Amino acid sequence: MTLIVLIVFSLAALVIILFMFEDFLDLLTDIILMLLTCLFVFFYSICFLIADVFYVFIADYVFAFVNFIFIRPFVHFYKRLFLRQ
pLDDT in tens, 13-61: 877 777 777 677 777 788 888 889 988 888 888 888 888 887 788 878 8
The pLDDT value recorded for residue 85 is: 58
pLDDT of residue 18: 72
Q: Taking residues 71-84, what's their average pLDDT? A: 75
Q: Which residues contact 50 (CB under 8 A, 6 or more apart)?
A: none
What mean pLDDT comes out for the span 55-78?
79
Position with higher pLDDT, 78 vs 63? 63
**How far apart are alpha carbons 45 and 27 in whole angstroms?**
27
The predicted pLDDT at position 41 comes to 87
Averaged pLDDT, 60-75: 80
3-29 burial by CB neighbour count: b if 16+ within 10 A, else e? eeeeeeeeeeeeeeeeeeeeeeeeeee
DSSP state of 23: T
Instruction: End-to-end CA distance of the chain: give it in Å, rounded.
Output: 87
Rounded to whole angstroms, the Cα distance separating 24 from 31 reads 10
The residue segments making up the domain with residue 15 are 2-84
